Amino acid sequence: MEEKSNYQAYQLSISDVITELKTDLETGLLSSQIPRRQKRYGPNQLPDQNSPSIFGMMLEQFNDFMVWVLIGAVLISGFLGQMDDAIAIIAIVILNAIMGFVQEYRAEKSLQALKKLAAPEATVLRDNKKQKISTDELVPGDILYLKQGDKIPADGRVIESNSLETNEASLTGESITVKKDSNRITAENAALGDRTNMVYMGTNVVKGRAKVVVIDIGLDTEMGQIADMLQNTEERQTPLQQRLDALGKWLVYICFLACAAVVGLGVIKGEPIYKMFLSGVSLAVAAIPEGLPAIVTLSLAIGVQRMIKRQAIVRKLPSVETLGCTTVICSDKTGTLTKNEMTIKKIYTDGKTYDLNSESLSAEGVRKSLQIGAICNNARLKRKSHGMFSQDSWEVMGDPTEGAFLLAARKAGMNKERLQQQFSQLKEVPFDSNRKRMSMIGQRNGKNTLYLKGAFDVIINRCSHYWEDGEVKRLTSKKLNHFKHRNEELSSQALRVLAVAVRKLPKNLDQERLEKYETDLVLVGLVGMMDPPRREAKRAIARCKRAGIKPIMVTGDHKNTAQAIADELNLLNRNDKVVTGSELQQMSEGEFRSKIDQIGVYARVTPEDKLRIVKTLKDRGEVVTMTGDGVNDAPAVKEADIGIAMGEQGTDVTQEASSLILADDNFRTIVAAVEEGRAIYDNIRKFIRYLLSCNIGEILTMFLASLFGFELPLIPIQILWVNLVTDGLPALALGVDPAAEDIMKRTPRPPNESIFAHGLRTRIISKGILIALSTLFTFILGLKISGGDLTEARTVAFNNLVMAQLFFVFSCRSEEYSIFEMNPFSNFYLVISVIISFGMQLVVLYFPGLKSIFETTSLHQGEWLLILVTAGSATILVEFFEGIINKISNKIRYISIENESIN
């Protein structure tokens, strides 16, 4: 296959393009030419990726260090006869493998979804006759026929057109249809959306007909370039996956070393090797937090359920947490920051500019302008619900611009159907890209009236009068300039301006030449419309900024429109700039890297531009969230740390490449998802703090006892039971802890931040030491109280270890507030889980059948009092010192913030 054409077909004349491609407008290509071209250019297809087999993808899920450790734990548990523990661990391994497989399998479907955008058949001119062929057989130089409803099968240059309009939203992101013609474009490096003499693979013909010469096929097309980028985009581990991988390896090494030390010290002391081996293995199984992956998965799954309620659908579980690290959100404009519906904002009529609202709708000039727009209209409204009549209750069927007139007219109490029914006859002079106007001629009571709307520069030149103060007045040169200034004023506000006009017509019309009456018009008003920003998007952007996240608009729309929306949303910071795709392409990589922090809006960008923006931001150390809906967004969405696709307007390609789908296409939902991501990470830190503190406490209890020559305070089965009782329900309950109130007032975490940052390592170790010391203390005291009864002393230590961990779980709910400053019942699940765990502990103490298995004995009141005081004191002591440290830290942080604000 040859490289993409090195000439710009849109800049060449039709004859030059035909010469370049060695084809013929009259006969098309000859059959004898096709095989050579197919061999030279290849098939008109998007190639398959070299994807791994389903079996290979499944096996790959087990190729992970922590997974192998868990499998080892299964074997050890089985060896010890702890089959329940072994079954639980292997179930966790299989569940995680299945979830990883499903995620990878769905991601590999991205390119397949892209290929479905190609049309199955095409009508071409070959051997001087029209014929239908498979789109795979198209070659450059083919003369292609297009009509309304066709999906365009290749990139081509328009040769002839009749009112041709295409929808290129999947490539450019613009929802407005593009009017096409065959005129040569002389501008260099014209943006894709400005190449009005070109059509592109995967887009649709929404109106008219055309004759096109095929320029590029397959991977050489604009769609093909996107497919190639999508195929070659590298997927990286999320920050959560990286941190958990590192944590898992660190834990395993430490646990193995500590357990080996326990075994070695016991053997040196004279304990039987077999007994110490069983104790060491039991301690290893208990110390390795095999429940960690399950708790992380459950926490993420709970976050997913919360996010579904907030209109966000998660495709990849780890991405939920990664959202919390987000430092930059690159958002599309249309439909995400705006409503994706044209709305009339202002009308200049009767010598005034009216902001459209309930008060202005009663003005005579406004009503007259809307009446003209509603009569001269081919769109219709479809009611969405049975609620009250309102703009949000109706769906526009047809052109969005015409729909804007109908919605505004309905607000003013005018109905298109009723207006048009007032005429005994209604004739249309249709809109096309050359005329840039549309008119309706209606007859009522034997009198004819022309209603016309269209581009201002076209309409104004056909007007001889204007309407003001209820009168028709002569249009002087001074007044003409006045109207031109008003048009420029509205346009400068990023409004699309249409003019509306009327004219009284004679009774007998020339039915063959209705267009000739579109002169000597009376200008009634200038109507400015736009796709307005979502009201909630402004609040969401403000929340982003408070949370230290920079929102960036990346759109295919025009610069003025993008800047106007950004200004209305307060998106731009003081020194932020608006940069177009062509300006971006002129920047070197070094220049772009140095300026990227000062760019808040990118307009008229290409798919390559979007991908470059994401890559450069990531290279700068940012955690990038990228939204998109069209095919053009897919490579950037896949490259981003978090790719977000639109659920309502998004294409299959973008959704398959994404980590998250917005059901409501709303920027507010992205910010809500970020909040959930931060809350989930907080909860992950909570149960890591809890699990590791408890496990360190268990290891140190055994290690210190061996080191100082004591009998082992716990037997193997007791160690495993502690692991089951305390590492289960309470840790899971921490995963559903509600988000802190100030969570969206914090700055984002650095992507390379250790999971033990902000003193978590110190907290874990110090609490582990306290748990171990309190357990050894009760063990030694238990020996004295019982007169040397080892079983009773171990029972006291066994219960102290469990109770210390159950008390401690409440302390893990916050790193900033003490246990005394929080409502324990705000996490009802945690309270219930602790009660259940305590009940399970009582069963092994007082149920006769289990007492012999666990080698326990019933405890009297004095021993329970000792356990409660000792176990509780460890938590209270930690809370006291941590409370002091937190207050000092908060005071220092407050002073530093105040100093920064002063400077």
Residue given tokens 């960690």 in the structure block: 292
Displacement of CA 144 from its chain's centroid (Å) = 38
Cβ density class 203-230: b for 16+ within 10 Å, e for less: bbbebbebbbbbbbbbbbbbbbbbbbbb
Enclosing H/E stretch for 526: strand 521-530
In this structure, is the dihedral angle defined by the CA atoms of residues 850, 855, 861 and 866, taken in order, positive or negative? negative
First to last CA, the chain: 60
Query: How many C-alpha atoms does 95 have within 13 Å on its Cβ side?
Result: 15
What 3-state class would DSSP assign to 147? Answer: strand
Query: How many C-alpha atoms does 546 have within 13 Å on its Cβ side?
Result: 12
Task: Check: CB of residue 49 under 8 Å from CB of residue 108.
Answer: yes
Question: Which candidate, 798, 801, 818, 799, places its Cα nearest to that of 810?
Answer: 818
- Name the E strands within 297-379: 312-314, 328-331, 343-349, 352-355
Residue 278 to residue 391: CA distance in whole angstroms: 73
In this structure, is the dihedral angle defined by the CA atoms of residues 382, 385, 389 and 394, taken in order, positive or negative? negative
Both tokens of residue 777?
């203390």
Residue given tokens 């994404």 in the structure block: 658
| DSSP structure string for 558-592 | -HHHHHHHHHHTT-S-TT-EEEEHHHHHTS-HHHH
Residue 719 to residue 85: CA distance in whole angstroms: 12
Question: Which candidate, 68, 70, 59, 71, places its Cα nearest to that of 100?
Answer: 59
Enclosing H/E stretch for 901: helix 861-902
Amino acid at 348: Y
DSSP 781: H
Residue 118 to residue 148: CA distance in whole angstroms: 16
Residue 487 to residue 496: CA distance in whole angstroms: 10
Rg (CA), the chain: 36
For 3, 787, 795, 845, the CA distances from 851, given in Å and listed in that order, are: 78, 20, 10, 6
Query: How many C-alpha atoms does 878 have within 13 Å on its Cβ side?
Result: 31
- Name the E strands within 332-390: 343-349, 352-355, 380-383
The β-bridge partners of 381 are 396
Residue 786 to residue 797: CA distance in whole angstroms: 13
Pairing relationship of beta strands 521-530 and 463-468 according to DSSP bridges: parallel
Residue 416 to residue 403: CA distance in whole angstroms: 11
How many Cβ atoms sit within 10 Å of the Cβ of residue 703? 18
Both tokens of residue 157?
């240059």
Residue given tokens 């830290």 in the structure block: 889
Residue 221 to residue 168: CA distance in whole angstroms: 14
DSSP 182: -
Residue 641 to residue 677: CA distance in whole angstroms: 13
Enclosing H/E stretch for 683: helix 667-707
Active site residue 332: yes
Find the catalytic residue in 150, 155, 220, 332. Answer: 332
Task: Check: CB of residue 433 under 8 Å from CB of residue 166.
Answer: no
Helices of type H across 412-452: 416-421
In this structure, is the dihedral angle defined by the CA atoms of residues 170, 171, 176 and 181, taken in order, positive or negative? negative
Active site residues: 332
